Homo-oligomer: A and B are copies of this chain.
Amino acid sequence: MVTSVSNRVLSGLAWHRLGEYLHETQVLGSIQSTLYWDQNTAMPSQAATWRAEQLSLLARNLHARQSSEKFEELIAEAKIEFQRIRESGELDPREIDDRAKNLELLEQDLNRQKRLDPDLISQLATAKAKGYCLWQQAKATSQFNLFAPALRNLIALRQEQAKQLSEPRSCWETLAQPFEPDISIVRLRELFGPLRECLPLLIDKVRGWQRPKRSCWDLESSSQKTLCEKLLQDWGRDNEITCVATSPHPFSITLGPKDFRLTTRVVHGQPLSCFLATAHEWGHSLYEQGLPIQSHQWFAWPLGQATSMALHESQSLFWENRVARSRSFSERFWPLFAKEGAPLNSGLDLWHCMNPLVPGCNRVEADELSYGLHILIRTDLEIAMLEEGLDVESLPEEWNSRYESLLGVTPRNDREGCLQDVHWSEGQFGYFPSYLLGHLISAQLAEAMKSSLNEFGGQEADPIEACIRDGRESKLLAWLRDEVHLVGRKMNAENLVEHVTGSPLSSSAFLNYLNKKLEMLNSTS
Interface residues of A (CB under 8 A from B): 24, 27-28, 30-31, 34-35, 37-38, 41-47, 49-51, 53-54, 57-58, 239-243, 245, 255-261, 296
Contacts and interface: CB of A to CB of B under 8 A. Distances in A.
Contact of A44 (B34, B42, B259): B259
A429 to B, nearest CB: 30
Contact of A27 (B27, B53, B258, B259): B53
Given A41-B42, A53-B27, A47 B256 contact: yes
A259 B42 CA distance: 10
B243 A46 contact: no
A259 B34 CA distance: 16
Given A30-B50, A31-B31, A54-B34, A44 B239 contact: yes
Contacts of A239: 44
A259 B49 CA distance: 10
A243 B27 CA distance: 26
Contacts of A41: 42
A27 B44 contact: no
A257 B52 CA distance: 13
B258 A49 contact: yes
Contact of A45 (B44, B49, B240): B240
Contacts of A37: 38, 42
A69 to B, nearest CB: 20
A50 B258 contact: yes
A241 B46 contact: yes
A241 B47 CA distance: 6
Contacts of A45: 240
B30 A256 contact: no
B245 A24 contact: no
A117 B306 CA distance: 43
Contacts of A24: 57
Nearest to A239: B44
Contacts of A240: 44-46
A31 B47 contact: no
Nearest to A258: B46
A290 to B, nearest CB: 16
A346 to B, nearest CB: 33
What 8 A-B pairs have minimum CB-CB distances, sorted nearest first?
A: A50-B256, A47-B259, A46-B258, A46-B240, A46-B241, A45-B240, A47-B256, A44-B243
B42 A54 contact: no
Contacts of A255: 43, 47, 50
Q: Which of A42, A53, A243 has the most CB of B within 10 A?
A: A42
Given A41-B42, A50-B257, A50-B296, 20 more contacts: A27-B57, A31-B31, A31-B54, A31-B57, A34-B34, A34-B54, A42-B243, A42-B245, A43-B243, A43-B255, A44-B239, A44-B241, A44-B258, A44-B259, A47-B256, A47-B258, A50-B255, A51-B256, A53-B296, A54-B256
A28 B60 CA distance: 13
A261 B43 CA distance: 9
A24 B58 CA distance: 11
A31 B58 contact: yes
Nearest to A53: B27
Contact of A30 (B27, B44, B54): B54
16 contacts: A24-B57, A27-B50, A31-B31, A38-B38, A41-B42, A42-B42, A44-B243, A45-B240, A46-B240, A47-B241, A47-B255, A47-B256, A47-B258, A49-B258, A50-B296, A51-B256
